[in-house]
Structure 1
Amino acid sequence: MKYIQLLAILFLTLNLACNNSKSEKNQNSPAEKEIAADITWGENPWPEIRKKRINELLPKALDAAEVDAWLVICRENNNDPIADHIGGENAGGTAAFLFYNDENGFHSLVFSPSGESKALDDLDIHDSVVSVDRNASAMELAADFIRKKDLKKIAVNSSESNSMADGLSYTQRQELESYLGNLKNRLVPSTEVVYEWLAIKLPEEVEILKKAAALTAEWQIEAYQKVVPGESTDADIARFLKKKMAENGVTDGWAPDQNPNVNSGPDRGHSHATDKVIMPGDVIQIDFGIKVHDRWVSDIQRFAYVLKEGEMEAPENIKHYWESAKAGNRAALAAMKPGTKGVDVDRAQRVLMEEAGSEYVMWSTGHPVGYVAHDVGPNLGGSQASHVRPAAEKELKEGMTFAFDGFHAWKLPNGELKTISVEEMAVVTENGAEYLIEPQEELVLIKA
């Protein structure tokens, strides 16, 4: 009897193991996805990069913004958008992060609730973490310190133009001003501090963006190789790219419903991929971005032409549109250098667009990219607008990263507009700008 029971137990154990093995092969558990991500990307470098950004780039940002200090108030659930850039993402109670320059250099001081102060101190991000008792106020202690140091100009996160610098709520502002008393007039918007700090990327970050851009472009080319004219749809391409993301442990560069944007028909702007069937004669656009380490984002476009019956290459008009757009992209890159304004980069390619007979394109030539697809930094646009946005009047600086287009637009037989927007990524260097990866030189040709 015991022998039969042992055999039964053994059978059940083997059967369970077999089923578990099949289950593991048929689906990726969250743990397996994390392992896949680690294999692809290695350990997340953000903790060290964040520390380096605070110590090396933030002092310069304070100087450039002409402020003595920057005060950020963090809290639980409805936190400041800048919180995870300064180590405040785990705030439970209210915490006050103060960054300032004085005659002895740069300092970072945090007044943190006692429940999380030790964990924050262990991260070794800040010079000093002061533990705040439950019956005390971190904001009040920060205000007392400001008064004691006699800091003259204190930036706080209230901004009309930069959402990343607008995290201080109305009630938080009221409370802070009550503690500061007659010093409340020393508070100024942190718009320029956040702009100067986030717009510059460290060399280590640029290397990460290069890898992300390379995969983004590579997968788009793979997707084009799967297209069967007359059968494949724009949505099929999108699904292929979504699968590549899942297999490689990366996420969407922007809103998942619109990433990737695949369009083989007339312009749709920022959009989702539809079930339109890809046909001979179509010009296909893929606008695609991935996020790696849940931090850095790519934004790359690749274009293809579907050959008609008997065609061995794209017709002359399509070649002209492509070469014109590509020339605009190259002109924009040549204009990107330290000291150049964003509006001037836009103007560099608009001249070529007019010469090539392009229809008007409402989009800016480019935008900063890094932590989000449309990041903080100079806007590369405005040269043909009725008014120039303030961000387009900003000068480019070494270490800024951009995604930018070369445009050519034409009218389809039905009167609708079609645009080729050759979008690449680049970093501004000491003497100019460099592509992060090799740019697309030729249209991808898809056989009928």
Structure 2
Amino acid sequence: MKKIFALLFIVSITVGCDQQKTDKDSVNQEQNTAALWEENPWPEIRKKRIQTLLPNALKQAEVEAWLTICRENNNDPIADHIGGENAGGTAAFLFYNDAQGFNSVVFSPSGEATALDELDIHDEVVSVERGSSAVQQAADFITEKNFEKVAINTSETNAMADGLTYSQHQELKKYLADFKGELVSSTEVVYQWLSIKLPEEVEILRNAAQLTADWQVEAYKQVKPGVSTDADLAKFLKNKMAEYGVKDGWAPAQNPNVNSGADRGHSHATDKVIMPGDVIQIDFGIKLYDRWVSDIQRFAYVLKEGETKAPPTIQQYWESGKAGNRAALAAMKPGVKGVEVDRAQRVLMEKAGSEYVMWSTGHPVGYVAHDVGPNLGGSQASHVRPAAQRELKEGMTFAFDGFHAWKLNEKDLKTISVEEMAVVTNDGAEYLIEPQEELILVSGE
């Protein structure tokens, strides 16, 4: 069973000091940071998500049933959320609400049905003998139940809800020739289900966020102005990931993105040498248990000779970005649209004289860095994406920024994007970890 460390300490943000550690200090730190190993909680969390969140997702989507077809090698993207990740032969997973309540039944090839049944995820696993079609048996069941609306995995907007292939779709329609109800997209089912995280998942995301932030602070302690490069800091963070056995939060080639120069957008760390006067951005995310993802940024200023703090202009930019982040958090609560959260911090950007920033204020984060849920953007766009018109709900988790951008020269911009993670509560939202309050100061001493 895959295991990872759960971190129990918070690294000090003091940078530039060379602390001497005794053997006793090292032992204590090892006990505090690496003593706790945990079994992968996904199997139990997955089961709970199906039992407690999926029934309401079907209701919110206004469908009675949801059908997913799983198979080997070219599986449905939602497969491991429903227990279909080990499918060999074609299997049909059906979830539905009826007068008796919520139900889940799987029509599985006989060679795999026993193992699937032993996972105890579903109410019933029907063994389909060789030579028979699991899809046909599922279709017969759907026809017999006389559902009015059944969601299937076709979607124009959500890749997680678009796993049904053309040939599978054709086969399903053939077997449903006598079905009087309607087949609809599962976009809304998947949205309603995946956008909400259980409290147990929020705690895992909290741990992931803390690790991510702590390691960035450690990385800044390694900086030697005039010598260290952005790529050196990225390498340090890659080594931390390897040491703790965690994976990248997004594409490995661009995680982490360390940038001490002009804005480069989503990109890789380069060999640019970090110099006094630079503002350094680290955008970094990790994946715990091969499942839950963080997305946190931390910023530092490299002191010039004779400086003991950031100059007033840089400090002003930092305070502006931080204020935007705090305004976005204050705007988050159930019932508020994503575009309204974006607008809350854009107002402050305008007052502070920030240059235009094309990025959305925030995005859902959880199973991937850009997860299913409302987009926190659109207030300055020519058109608002549908996801930005969606309302926030309790249990949704976000990574979001407060922006301030300024011109370095005629063509280059530099943006401070104070990115934190938060969860929506019943009456507001709260940070997953303590947010960055001050610029980290890097000295050459």
Quickly name the TM-score band, shorter chain normalised. over 0.9
Change (3 A) 1:353 1:267: same
Change (3 A) 1:126 1:329: same
- Aligned CA-pair RMSD: 1.4
> 5 Å matches for 1:344-383?
344-383=340-379
Counterpart in the other structure of 1:78: 74
1:422 equivalent in alignment to 2:423: no
Between the aligned partners of 2:99 and 2:293, the Cα distance in structure 1 is 38
Q: CA deviation at 1:186?
A: 1.1
Between the aligned partners of 1:134 and 1:279, the Cα distance in structure 2 is 67
Cα contact 2:5–2:244 (8 A) shared by 1 = yes
* Residue identity matched to 2:83: G
Q: CA deviation at 1:402?
A: 0.2
Between the aligned partners of 1:331 and 1:34, the Cα distance in structure 2 is 37
Counterpart in the other structure of 2:396: 400
- Tell me whether 81-90 or 407-416 shows the greater mean CA deviation: 407-416
Cα contact 2:136–2:172 (8 A) shared by 1 = yes
| Residues 171-197 of structure 1 deviation map (CA, whole Å, 9 limit, x = unaligned) | 000000000014276110000000000
TM-score, L = length of structure 1: 0.91
1:276 equivalent in alignment to 2:272: yes
Q: 1:256 aligns with which of 252, 267, 275?
A: 252
* Residue identity matched to 1:277: V
Counterpart in the other structure of 1:158: 154
Q: CA deviation at 1:415?
A: 3.4
* Residue identity matched to 2:351: E
1:211 equivalent in alignment to 2:207: yes
| Residues 48-106 of structure 1 deviation map (CA, whole Å, 9 limit, x = unaligned) | 00000000000000000000100000000000000000000000000000000001000
Counterpart in the other structure of 1:319: 315
Q: 1:328 aligns with which of 321, 324, 327?
A: 324
List gaps (5 residues or longer) in structure 2. 7-33
Between the aligned partners of 1:165 and 1:282, the Cα distance in structure 2 is 43
Between the aligned partners of 1:44 and 1:184, the Cα distance in structure 2 is 43
> 5 Å matches for 1:16-35?
none
Give the 3-state SS of the residue equivalent to 2:68 in structure 1. strand
Between the aligned partners of 1:413 and 1:175, the Cα distance in structure 2 is 60
Q: CA deviation at 1:272?
A: 0.2
Counterpart in the other structure of 2:15: none
Report % sequence identity: 78
Q: CA deviation at 1:310?
A: 0.8
List gaps (5 residues or longer) in structure 1. 1-30
Cα contact 2:148–2:181 (8 A) shared by 1 = no
1:230 equivalent in alignment to 2:245: no
Give the 3-state SS of the residue equivalent to 1:308 in structure 2. coil
1:174 equivalent in alignment to 2:170: yes
Counterpart in the other structure of 1:65: 61
**Whose radius of gyration is greater, 1 or 2?**
1
| Residues 116-170 of structure 1 deviation map (CA, whole Å, 9 limit, x = unaligned) | 1000000000000000011100000001001111011000000000000000000
Between the aligned partners of 1:132 and 1:234, the Cα distance in structure 2 is 56
* Residue identity matched to 2:86: N
Counterpart in the other structure of 1:245: 241
1:220 equivalent in alignment to 2:230: no
Give the 3-state SS of the residue equivalent to 2:225 in structure 1. coil
Between the aligned partners of 1:357 and 1:343, the Cα distance in structure 2 is 21
Q: CA deviation at 1:414?
A: 5.2
Give the 3-state SS of the residue equivalent to 1:254 in structure 2. coil
Matched residue pairs, number?
A: 417
Aligned structure 1 segments of 4 or more residues deviating by more than 6 angstroms: 35-38
Q: CA deviation at 1:36?
A: 6.5
Give the 3-state SS of the residue equivalent to 1:146 in structure 2. helix
Give the 3-state SS of the residue equivalent to 1:431 in structure 2. coil
1:188 equivalent in alignment to 2:184: yes
Give the 3-state SS of the residue equivalent to 2:377 in structure 1. coil
- Tell me whether 40-49 or 131-140 shows the greater mean CA deviation: 40-49
> 5 Å matches for 1:107-126?
107-126=103-122
TM-score, L = length of structure 2: 0.92
Cα contact 1:36–1:247 (8 A) shared by 2 = no
Cα contact 1:40–1:248 (8 A) shared by 2 = no
Change (3 A) 1:197 1:265: same
